[in-house]
Amino acid sequence: MRAPLFAADFAARAATTLDPETAHRLTIRMLKTGIGPRACIREEGLAISVAGIDFPNPIGLAAGFDKDAEVPNAMLDLGFGFVEVGAVTPRPQFGNPRPRVFRLWKDDAVINRYGFNNDGLDAMARRLKRRRRKGVLGVNLGANKDSDDRVADYEAGVCRLAGLVDFYTVNISSPNTPGLRALQGKDALADLMKRVLAARDDAAAGTPVFLKIAPDLTDEDKADIADVAKELALDGLIVSNTTIARLETLRSARVKEAGGLSGRPLFAPSTELLREFYRAVGTETPLIGVGGVSSPRDAYEKILAGASLVQLYTAMVYEGPGLPARIVRALPALLKADGYDAVAEAVGAKHR
């Protein structure tokens, strides 16, 4: 029998007394046993079609929580409209030495330098083949740290997981794999995405490919990414990954730890970046907004700024697993207050 949401919230808060990575592994193990919350949500006006996929609601789980596709169905049961597993690399990878994740309690934030730790493509493929298909599932693809051809790593991910996922995300924006973000340069990015799209067409024709970008971009970087997205007709941009910047407002003791910062402090800069990309690509390239979402209003602001879909993860550390259900249940009232009958009508409304 599934635990009620309030019990799961209590258990999640109890887990915060543990080392962050230990708490995360214990949460995954609990969910694998079937002990976890289930939210039954049927709100009107939240279904949306993006890149040919019909999403029951626009709120998704960002990559990083379920790195090895161990509990995608359990996460869908929390009320998410879609789940993204990974990042996964072709070969298993331990990642960086522990400790490698740090809670910033005073800032509702997290710094991580995991370094794409995962069980590898073969292990993920085996799990997904055994999985009972339900909901919308995507996979975040990465490259091995010691790879001689990182583009080939992304091609391998597309081929190995063909038919097992509903969309692919090409992740070149993690700050924890040295040199990875260099792939965001225009020539390198165009070559990467052409090869990935060709692999998709051969192995899983019609499966959308999204590109996840960093928040730490120059104006030239932004223009280059927007140009490539339009020229190659990418299915979507995920804006954005964790940041290596450290805002002056941060107050927590571990703020100087190396790694990517996520959580509430990322909301404002990532939403501004989302607005910039909406102005650059318009409705040609769908946008997925991620960064600092911790409330229904946050999610709605991402939509108004141009996001067709919204993802979250870090906020669940502080708000508990009931957060996605609370957001989904509150969105219809926010839409109605602004005169919208469907979430698609509100996408990019602040630009009009």
Query: pLDDT tens digit string along 25-74?
Result: 999 999 999 877 788 787 889 999 999 999 999 999 999 999 999 999 99
pLDDT at 129 over 90: yes
Mean residue pLDDT of the chain comes to 94
148: confidence class by pLDDT, cuts 50, 70, 90: very high
- Is 174 known to be catalytic? yes
What CATH number belongs to 65-351? 3.20.20.70
How many percent of the chain have pLDDT more than 70? 95
pLDDT at 9 over 70: no
2: confidence class by pLDDT, cuts 50, 70, 90: very low
138: confidence class by pLDDT, cuts 50, 70, 90: very high
Q: What does the pLDDT average to over 1-22?
A: 60
Q: What does the pLDDT average to over 169-191?
A: 91
Task: Please pick, among 49, 147, 173, 174, the residue that the annotation labels catalytic.
Answer: 174
* pTM exceeds 0.85 for this model: yes
123: confidence class by pLDDT, cuts 50, 70, 90: very high
- Full 3-state SS string of the chain: CCCCHHHHHHHHHHHCCCCHHHHHHHHHHHHHCCCCCCCCCCCCCCCEEECCEEECCCEEECCCCCCCCCCHHHHHCCCCCEEEEEEECCCCECCCCCCCEEEEHHHCEEEECCCCCECCHHHHHHHHHHCCCCCCEEEEECCCCCCCCHHHHHHHHHHHCCCCCCEEEEECCCCCCCCHHHHHCHHHHHHHHHHHHHHHHHHCCCCCEEEEECCCCCHHHHHHHHHHHHHCCCCEEEECCCECCCCCCCCCCCCCCCCEEEEHHHHHHHHHHHHHHHHHHCCCCCEEEECCCCCHHHHHHHHHHCCCEEEECCHHHHHCCCHHHHHHHHHHHHHHHCCCCCHHHHCCHHHC
184 or 146, which is more confident: 146
- Domain regions of the chain by residue span: 65-351
pLDDT in tens, 61-112: 999 999 999 999 999 999 999 999 999 999 999 999 999 999 999 999 999 9
pLDDT at 1 over 80: no
Q: What is the pLDDT of residue 181?
A: 87
